[in-house]
Amino acid sequence: MVVKATSVGCGGHHASAMTLESALDAVFKSVHVVAESESVGLMDASGRILAQDVVSTTNVPGHTNSAMDGYALRWEDTRSPGSVSLHVVGESFAGHPYTGALQAGECVRIMTGAVIPDSADTIVIQEDTQRNGDMVELQAECRQGDHVRLAGEDIRAGTVVLAAGRKLRAADLGLLASIGVPDVQVKRKVKVAYFSTGDELRAVGEVLENGQIHDSNRYTLHAMLGAAGVESIDLGVVRDDPAALRAAFAMAAERADVVVTSGGASVGEADYVTDILAELGEVSFWNVAMKPGRPLIFGKLHGAEFFGLPGNPVSVMVTFLQVVRPALAVMSGEPYAPPLRFRARAASKLHKKPGRMEFQRGVLTCHEGADPSVDSTGRQGSGILHSVNQANCFIVLDLDSGSVEKGDWVTVEPFLP
Ligand code: AMP
Ligand code: MG
């Protein structure tokens, strides 16, 4: 169904804004996980999303081995009364195992990671021994199985080590290498085409004339898209001109799974994005009860998901992080994970009017023995980008809440790396 922006009261202030929660619901109902997957080598797999479960075909460790430098022995040989001396019959180094089996009264010198010989079951660390020629005297009690790393104690052959949907991190790559997996099947990257809109925008490096500004949103978007692990397609700056915008919309939707624009999303006379989306595609919503970020447009453009972000730089970041990023994660094949939020005490009064959910920018500190504390970064205008530069978290204030007094508990959401 094509909903004409004008018919839903795009120009008016009467239409009630959607809650962020229902906006997210609408987004999650609309998006699909990319179907295609590809094989990548481990060295290229960091940050990619597994398309299939990975089952280990081997035990890790593959062999029962020593956790310490010392002597491998048969524990029963240490049971005889009085001091115990054993005959050192060989050595086992990492990568160079001792191939024989131990007889009564024998032991082998062993290094960390080296295979434990047949019939040995215990390691005595070298600090607890006295070596005399080819004999070694034990100088401390030991328990059976001391310092033995059993084959398969980390990973058992046949178990799922990483499940489909996993975003691969450093420890995962190490784990995959340890089971001898050279490459993995991952989801293809979601493709996102993005552009800025506005007659006042000039690229960095261009000389500004009266009333012109540098286009900063494309740079923050570029970085945020990169961090989200998608393939991004930069379509530059598009003028506030319906014909130019129509052409850019069509090109973006043809090349990508998702189209992200900034600017021109509001109700001003040069704000065309909602109308053009209604004309060429479908508008799902265009007005969300959040601050910053009220004029946030979502819909479909041909086969692509469309996000029309506001123009103000802080609004771009907040709407991207709260709405676009979770959508991209789901499309990439990750299971939805709600944002990590917890409570901290406000270090100063926070001004707020009821009616919109707010994402103020804060500096969170956690000192041992004290409650976590969060302070505002100061002026919170949606054009004040350095309110984000200075921050390490959002202070998330409910739609209905009013101002917060110093010392009150508030919800914080730390920025992800
Ligand atoms: P708009 O939503 O187009 O009315 O833009 C709202 C505000 O954000 C205006 O002050 C614009 O100049 C500013 N703005 C829009 N796009 C950008 C951009 N790409 N970079 C920096 N500021 C922008
Ligand atoms: Mg504009």
pLDDT digits (tens, 9 = 90+) for 115-133: 999 999 999 999 999 999 9
> Does residue 357 surpass a pLDDT of 70?
yes
8-state DSSP, 254? H
**Spatial CA neighbour of 395 closest among 380, 417, 383, 384:** 380
SS3 120: coil
> Does residue 5 surpass a pLDDT of 80?
no
Exposed (0-12), middle (13-18) or buried (19+): which is 32, by Cβ within 10 Å? Answer: exposed
Q: How far apart are CA 259 and CA 250, in angstroms?
A: 10
The mean pLDDT of the chain is 95
Element (H, E) at 339: none
Query: 262 CB less than 6 Å from ligand 1?
Result: yes
Q: What is the mean pLDDT of residues 382-411?
A: 96
Q: What is the mean pLDDT of residues 326-352?
A: 97
Query: 308 CB less than 6 Å from ligand 1?
Result: no
Q: What is the mean pLDDT of residues 345-357?
A: 97
> Does residue 43 surpass a pLDDT of 50?
yes
Query: 201 CB less than 6 Å from ligand 1?
Result: yes
Span 191-213, pLDDT tens digits? 999 999 999 999 999 999 999 99
pLDDT of 82: 87
Residue 26 φ/ψ, nearest 5 degrees: -65, -40
Which ligand neighbours the alpha carbon of 310 most closely? Answer: 1
Q: What is the CA(60)–ligand 2 centre distance, in A?
A: 58
**Spatial CA neighbour of 385 closest among 325, 316, 289, 308:** 316
Q: What is the mean pLDDT of residues 382-410?
A: 96
| CB contact set of 389 (below 8 Å; sequence gap of 6+) | none
Between the alpha carbon of residue 284 and those of residues 234, 260, 268, 297, 306, the distances in Å are 24, 15, 20, 8, 10
Q: How far apart are CA 239 and CA 246, in angstroms?
A: 11
Tell the residue nearest (CA) to atom 16 of ligand 1: 311
Span 266-276, pLDDT tens digits? 999 999 999 99
8 A C-beta contact, residue 386 and residue 216: no
Query: 281 CB less than 6 Å from ligand 1?
Result: no
pLDDT of 413: 98
SS3 251: helix
> Does residue 384 surpass a pLDDT of 80?
yes
Query: 310 CB less than 6 Å from ligand 1?
Result: yes
pTM for the structure as a whole: 0.90
What residue has token string 């240490």?
78
pLDDT of 41: 98
Q: What is the mean pLDDT of residues 376-389?
A: 94
Q: What is the CA(206)–ligand 1 centre distance, in A?
A: 17
Span 81-119, pLDDT tens digits? 889 999 999 999 999 999 999 999 999 999 999 999 999
Share of the chain above pLDDT 70, in %: 96
Query: 152 CB less than 6 Å from ligand 1?
Result: no
Angle between helix 325-332 and helix 20-30 axes, rounded to 10 deg: 30
> Does residue 28 surpass a pLDDT of 60?
yes
b/e 326-336 (16+ beta carbons within 10 angstroms → b): bbbbbbbbbee
> Does residue 1 surpass a pLDDT of 60?
no
pLDDT of 81: 85
> Does residue 12 surpass a pLDDT of 70?
no
Q: What is the CA(117)–ligand 1 centre distance, in A?
A: 71
